Structure 1
Amino acid sequence: MTSTLSENTGARDVVRDPLANWPLPPPGGWTADDLDRLPIDGPNGELDLFKHVELVDGALILMSPQRRFHEYLLYGLRTALNEQAPGDLKAVMQMDVTLGPRQRPCPDVVVVGSEIAKDRSRTSYTPDEVHLVVEVVSPESEFRDREVKPRRYAEAGIRHFWLVENSDDEPVVHVYRLDPVTRSYVPTGVHSGRLRVTAPFPVDVDLAELPD
């Protein structure tokens, strides 16, 4: 991810280099905009160091190598959702959602408007553009996936959230909807074997036969 974004100081434009003090954070800490300024490789030549990063509660998260179960679920759910989504919605994989200046997680799957998804220059979506967030729990990020990220998505007003757990290499989908009064998620069902929901659009998916 690269860009030439600048900060106006009044007298001149100064390009912020988020890696100037690496491995320490830049002055003022990491921001969501910094992720667009990061190169793919690390400052010491580490290949693909910043290829997949998140910003959660102001902390830069470098993602671990992906397990096959994780990749299978991402591809399978995105494909199944797009087979059943109405024409004005589209499921996409691993696109950032900027929730605030210090919050830019990268959900596994998000559902956005199909016209928005056509813009291939985008590096991030805003909460009001997102209809559904799906997170597949990883062993190295269980606390973030189960505790931290759902709270941040709910606080940002994203109406639907699914959390996918691994149960003996079979997916179990925990479905939540937003309570607009408390800005927190309310569980509406746990699905194994088959996922049937009516929101954000009708979905009927055999979880044992996801596209591979």
Structure 2
Amino acid sequence: MSTGRRLEKATPETWMFPPADGWTHEQVKELDLPFDWELVDGVIVARGQTVPWHNRVRDRLLRSLEDAQCEPYEVLAEQSVRLNERNTPKPDVVVFDAHGQDLWELECVPIQWVVLVVEVVSAGSQQDDRVRKPALFAAAGVPYFWRVEQGADRVPVVHEFWLHREMGTYIPAPEHPVHREKLETPHPFPNSIDLAGLVRR
């Protein structure tokens, strides 16, 4: 492949034709497409359509975590995380250590800053949220992962996972692996969330 081709930016006309070794973040970061997407192994992948339940739970979880957050943590929704130059997944919610950093200059959150990833499962994201993304973030060393499923009466159920560093995989949190009605955990900072309240009108 020529050097010129390697340095090309993806455009709305060329994004579906990545170079042989895939697009990089630098090549796609300014790309404007009429759908939400993320970079996976150098390929631009459309993110699944979400429903009001997913969006409300994500947004209210974000607010709850923001209310509980303490220094040096920051909490963002739908923010790209940079694992490497060809992988910038976009978790529903991400908590990261931004000590000494300029938040407003960020393009992507570097993976080494991330302490918690939250994924809210919807019909179009089950395989990603239950299998691919946990494996991806565990391999990258993210300490905590929450998978949020729809439970009885649409009340969210939170599955809390901790990273087993020797195995490089997530294991159910030993203290309280599944949270129903109320989530209480000291990780990555103390928080208590009324899960039923997330869907209350």
Distance change >3 Å, CA 209–CA 21, structure 1 → 2: closer
Higher helix share: 2
Write the mapping of 1:145-160 to structure 2, written as runs, cut at 5 A: 145-160=129-144
Output the aligned Cα RMSD.
2.4
Structure 1 ranges of 4+ moved more than 6 A: none
Find the counterpart in structure 1 of residue 23 from structure 2. 30
Distance change >3 Å, CA 118–CA 82, structure 1 → 2: farther
- The total of aligned residue pairs comes to 193
What is the CA-CA distance between 1:57 and the residue it aligns to?
Answer: 3.5
Which residue of the other structure, out of 185, 188, 199, is the alignment partner of 1:200?
188
Find the counterpart in structure 1 of residue 159 from structure 2. 174
The TM-score, its normalising length taken from structure 2, stands at: 0.85
CA distance in structure 1 between the aligned counterparts of 2:86 and 2:55, rounded to whole angstroms: 27
What is the CA-CA distance between 1:116 and the residue it aligns to?
Answer: 6.6
Find the counterpart in structure 1 of residue 51 from structure 2. 67
Amino acid at match of 1:25: P
Find the counterpart in structure 1 of residue 109 from structure 2. 125
What is the CA-CA distance between 1:65 and the residue it aligns to?
Answer: 3.1
Q: Is the 8 A contact 1:177 1:186 kept in 2?
A: yes
What's the secondary structure of 1:210's corresponding residue?
Answer: helix
Identity of aligned residues (%): 32
CA distance in structure 2 between the aligned counterparts of 1:16 and 1:24, rounded to whole angstroms: 12
Per-residue CA distance 1:17-64 (angstroms, 9 max, x = gap): 2246453223422333333031x23xxxxxx23xx2112344322123
Q: Is the 8 A contact 1:32 1:104 kept in 2?
A: yes
CA distance in structure 1 between the aligned counterparts of 2:100 and 2:5, rounded to whole angstroms: 31
The TM-score, its normalising length taken from structure 1, stands at: 0.81
Q: Which runs of 5+ in 1 are unaligned?
A: 1-8, 42-47
Amino acid at match of 1:35: V
Write the mapping of 1:64-103 to structure 2, written as runs, cut at 5 A: 64-103=48-87
Q: Which runs of 5+ in 2 are unaligned?
A: none
What is the CA-CA distance between 1:131 and the residue it aligns to?
Answer: 1.2
Q: Is the 8 A contact 1:17 1:26 kept in 2?
A: no
